[in-house]
């Protein structure tokens, strides 16, 4: 049977992909927001006074609702139609407070689009998490700088969403003043003699980001055509790097992307203690490559990030990093947190490396793939449905068939050292690499892949705290359980700090039980440094 049409279809899908969507532009003022601008400003001013005045809770709630409704109409005037946001603010007799930047030097005038959070669909990230209060939650979208222009380090591709709350203040004797505040850090708003908490929508920014991002596009093409995406292997930050917060690095699995963590990120980011103490990084990579190579690229990217962090100031929080690895991402993390010595090399080759090839660059690349040091980060790792001993699914007919369809890059680059696939194949003593497809991700997930037994013989880096979350599909049959892809005998590790079985399939990261366990572990991590548990 000729299956050459499958990679071709994947290529067609990739070529037909329309690219990253453009941020929505409001060109015409919505009908509901039309009317006399001065009257709307006066309505907001009257409601502002009502919020601050003494009265019953019901009266204050009604005034707050009236204020927010009026401000929502005025926000539409700021974001819709031609002209700068400052000019549109002035046209309605207001000014914009830009005494503070929105982050990384970004000011309101730099924003490419302003979107009311209420208009952003959030079904893709799960439950919508709202906080009642004063102001109108908005998503401020800043697209990534074009090539040749300055970018901040590890900037996400396509752009970054900023969670802001628009408030129109009425200072005595001055023009009404707009403030766009980050509700996670801003103090309550003073309205008269009363302090009122800011309204917030903690789900809309992430949902909008995934709508705009290309990190979770073309997952199938990234399996079958990894050569197209190899150069795009990167670590990205969800928000600008902050040396005062602990990094949580999320590593996705096969036929997946950082978007696999949409729902878990949404559940974590709703928590004030998480936003105050943690920052999220994503590792994005094409999942058609052998995981041994993807792990080497992961270590390379982490070393680059480590060098960056050490230039930014104190690294006490950086060194408390937590890595979360799902599925094959767990295997990539597992391999990177052990120092295999020569065990991994000997799993493939009996001859000393000096006898393997005279090419010094090839020998160096092989050392980086098989005889490397464990990453000094993280302090803790959480494995989610990780096949630490492979998955029998990789040996089934369909999976073997898939390995023949994956088109690997002609050359793999590790730390600027090129290694041809034939060079890598020379590691294998049995000559079975092509039939087993061990060069591919699917093939390297076979339980027969020699690297698994080699890693089993090597301990994790000293001091590392290890946790596992494993799915049993709700059957309650552990240790004979499976998440449908990975059996318990493969995902189980021991001894570990904790192992929790959740009633979920292989996508355990989307289950509420998994989110609850990850939160428990991250709270424990904070408490371990002498801080009170939030």
136-157 per-position pLDDT tens digit: 999 999 888 766 666 678 888 7
Decide if 22 is inside a domain.
Answer: no
pLDDT of residue 233: 74
Residues 314 and 427 in one domain: yes
Decide if 213 is inside a domain.
Answer: no
Has residue 433 got a pLDDT over 50? Answer: no
Q: What is the mean pLDDT of residues 342-358?
A: 85
Decide if 10 is inside a domain.
Answer: no
What digits encode the pLDDT tens for the residues 446-484?
Answer: 898 889 999 999 999 999 999 999 999 999 999 999 999
449 contacts 348 by C-beta, under 8 angstroms:
no
Domain count, the chain: 2
Question: Which of 202, 124, 205, 120 has its CA nearest to residue 161?
Answer: 205
Asked which of 206, 234, 251 is the last residue of a domain, the reply is 206
Question: Which residue's entry shows tokens 């000293």?
Answer: 462
Q: What is the mean pLDDT of residues 240-263?
A: 91
Instruction: Tell me the H-state helices in 80-189.
Output: 85-91
Residues 489 and 412 in one domain: yes
Choice between 393 and 145, residue whose per-residue pLDDT is larger = 393
User: Of 33-42, 76-85, 420-429, which range is least confident?
Assistant: 420-429
Has residue 427 got a pLDDT over 60? Answer: no
Give percent of the chain with pLDDT exceeding 90: 59
Question: Which residue's entry shows tokens 């009604």?
Answer: 62
* pLDDT band at 404; cut points 50, 70, 90: very low
The DSSP line for 473-527 is TT---TTS-B-SSSBHHHH--SS-SEEEEES--S-GGGSHHHHHHHHHHHHHHHH
SS3 of 95-122: the string is EECCCCCCECCECHHHCCEEEEHHHCCC
Residues 236 and 120 in one domain: no
Q: Is 506 exposed, middle or buried (0-12, 13-18, 19+ CB in 10 A)?
A: buried
The DSSP line for 6-36 is HHHHHHHHHHH---SPPPP-B-S--GGG-S-
Residues 184 and 244 in one domain: no
487 contacts 518 by C-beta, under 8 angstroms:
no
pLDDT of residue 20: 55
Has residue 251 got a pLDDT over 60? Answer: yes
CATH number at residue 480: 3.40.50.1820
From start to end of 327-410, where are the E strands? Answer: 380-384
* pLDDT band at 231; cut points 50, 70, 90: low
From start to end of 170-237, where are the E strands? Answer: 177-181, 189-191, 194-196, 200-201, 234-237
Give percent of the chain with pLDDT exceeding 70: 80
User: Of 16-25, 34-43, 422-431, 494-503, which range is least confident?
Assistant: 422-431
d(CA 345, CA 103): 46
Residues 232 and 143 in one domain: no
Decide if 212 is inside a domain.
Answer: no
Calculate Rg over the CA atoms of the chain: 26
pLDDT of residue 95: 96
Q: What is the mean pLDDT of residues 47-74?
A: 94
What three-state secondary structure class fits 383?
strand
d(CA 470, CA 493): 11
C-alpha distances in angstroms, 222 versus 139, 233, 263, 438, 441?
30, 11, 22, 17, 11
Decide if 21 is inside a domain.
Answer: no
526 contacts 273 by C-beta, under 8 angstroms:
yes
Cis peptide bond N-terminal to 495, omega within 30: yes
In b/e form, how buried is each residue of 57-82, taking b as 16+ CB within 10 angstroms? eeebeebbebbbebbbbbbbbbbbee
pLDDT of residue 21: 66
Residues 292 and 435 in one domain: yes
User: Of 111-115, 159-163, 431-435, which range is least confident?
Assistant: 431-435
The 10 Å Cβ neighbour count of residue 458 is 15
Has residue 8 got a pLDDT over 50? Answer: no
Residues 166 and 247 in one domain: no
* pLDDT band at 73; cut points 50, 70, 90: very high
What predicted TM-score, i.e. pTM, was given to this entire model? 0.87
Residues 415 and 339 in one domain: yes
pLDDT of residue 148: 64
pLDDT of residue 213: 77
Decide if 195 is inside a domain.
Answer: yes
User: In which domain, by residue range, is 466 found?
Assistant: 226-527
pLDDT of residue 405: 38
Decide if 405 is inside a domain.
Answer: yes
Has residue 220 got a pLDDT over 50? Answer: no
Per-residue DSSP letter, 373: P
* pLDDT band at 349; cut points 50, 70, 90: confident
Residues 422 and 496 in one domain: yes
Choice between 271 and 427, residue whose per-residue pLDDT is larger = 271
pLDDT of residue 158: 82
Decide if 255 is inside a domain.
Answer: yes
Has residue 53 got a pLDDT over 50? Answer: yes
Helices then strands, counting H and E runs in the chain, come out as 20, 18
d(CA 363, CA 255): 31
* pLDDT band at 293; cut points 50, 70, 90: confident
pLDDT of residue 322: 98
d(CA 524, CA 255): 32
User: Which are the contacts of 352, defined by CB distance < 8 A and separation ≥ 6?
Assistant: none
Asked which of 206, 238, 257 is the last residue of a domain, the reply is 206
Residues 338 and 201 in one domain: no
Q: What is the mean pLDDT of residues 204-223?
A: 67
**Cα-based angle 279, 281, 287 (whole degrees, multiple of 5):** 160
**Long-range contacts of 476-484, Cβ-Cβ distance < 8 Å, separation of 24 or more:** 476/503, 483/385, 483/508
* pLDDT band at 283; cut points 50, 70, 90: very high
C-alpha distances in angstroms, 435 versus 176, 402, 425?
72, 12, 12
User: Of 39-53, 214-228, 380-394, which range is least confident?
Assistant: 214-228
User: Of 6-15, 197-206, 324-333, which range is least confident?
Assistant: 6-15
**Mean residue pLDDT across the chain:** 84
Pairing of strands 113-116, 95-96: unpaired
d(CA 56, CA 61): 9
Residues 253 and 348 in one domain: yes
Residues 385 and 469 in one domain: yes
């Amino acid at each position: 049977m000729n299956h050459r049409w499958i990679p071709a279809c994947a290529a067609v899908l990739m070529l037909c992909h329309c690219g990253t969507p453009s941020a929505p532009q409001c060109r015409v003022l919505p009908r509901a927001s039309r009317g006399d601008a001065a009257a709307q400003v006066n309505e907001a001013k009257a409601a502002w006074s009502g919020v601050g005045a003494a009265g019953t809770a019901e009266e204050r709630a009604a005034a707050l609702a009236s204020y927010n409704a009026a401000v929502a109409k005025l926000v539409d005037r700021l974001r819709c139609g031609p002209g700068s946001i400052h000019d549109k603010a002035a046209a309605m007799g207001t000014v914009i407070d830009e005494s503070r930047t929105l982050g990384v030097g970004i000011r309101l005038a730099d924003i490419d689009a302003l979107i009311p959070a209420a208009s952003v669909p959030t079904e893709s990230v799960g439950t919508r998490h709202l906080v009642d209060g004063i102001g109108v939650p908005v998503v401020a979208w800043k697209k990534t700088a074009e090539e040749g222009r300055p970018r901040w380090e590890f900037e996400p591709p396509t752009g970054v969403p900023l969670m802001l709350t628009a408030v129109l203040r009425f200072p005595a004797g001055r023009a009404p003043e707009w403030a766009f505040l980050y509700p996670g850090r801003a103090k309550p708003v003073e309205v008269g003699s009363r302090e009122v908490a800011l309204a917030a929508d903690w789900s809309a920014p992430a949902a909008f980001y995934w709508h705009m991002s290309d990190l979770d596009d073309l997952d199938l093409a990234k399996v079958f055509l990894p050569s197209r995406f190899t150069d795009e292997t990167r670590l990205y930050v969800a928000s600008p790097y902050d040396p005062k917060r602990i990094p949580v690095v999320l590593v996705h699995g096969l036929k997946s992307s950082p978007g696999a963590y949409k729902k878990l990120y949404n559940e974590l980011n709703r928590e004030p203690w998480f936003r105050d103490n943690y920052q999220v990084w994503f590792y994005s990579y094409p999942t058609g490559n052998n995981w041994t190579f993807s792990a080497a690229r992961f270590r390379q990217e982490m070393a680059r990030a480590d060098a960056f962090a050490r230039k930014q100031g104190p690294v006490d929080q950086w060194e408390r990093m937590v890595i979360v690895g799902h599925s094959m991402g767990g295997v990539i993390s597992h391999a990177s947190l052990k120092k295999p010595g020569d065990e991994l090399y000997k799993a493939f080759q009996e001859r000393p490396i000096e006898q393997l090839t005279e090419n010094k660059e090839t020998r160096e690349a092989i050392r980086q793939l098989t005889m490397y040091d464990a990453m000094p980060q993280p302090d803790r790792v959480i494995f989610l449905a990780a096949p630490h001993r492979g998955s029998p699914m990789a040996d089934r007919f369909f999976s073997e068939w898939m390995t023949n369809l994956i088109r690997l890059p002609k050359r793999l680059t590790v730390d600027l050292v090129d290694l041809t696939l034939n060079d890598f194949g020379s590691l294998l003593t049995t000559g079975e690499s092509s039939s087993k497809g061990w060069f591919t991700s699917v093939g390297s997930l076979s339980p027969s892949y020699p690297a698994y037994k080699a890693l089993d013989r090597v301990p994790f880096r000293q001091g590392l705290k290890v946790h596992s979350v494993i799915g049993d599909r709700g059957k309650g049959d552990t240790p004979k359980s499976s998440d449908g892809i990975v059996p318990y005998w493969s995902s189980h590790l021991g001894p570990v700090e904790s192992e929790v079985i959740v009633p979920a399939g292989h996508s355990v990261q989307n289950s509420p039980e998994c989110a609850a366990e990850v939160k428990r572990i991250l709270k424990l991590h904070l408490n371990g440094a002498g801080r009170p548990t939030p």
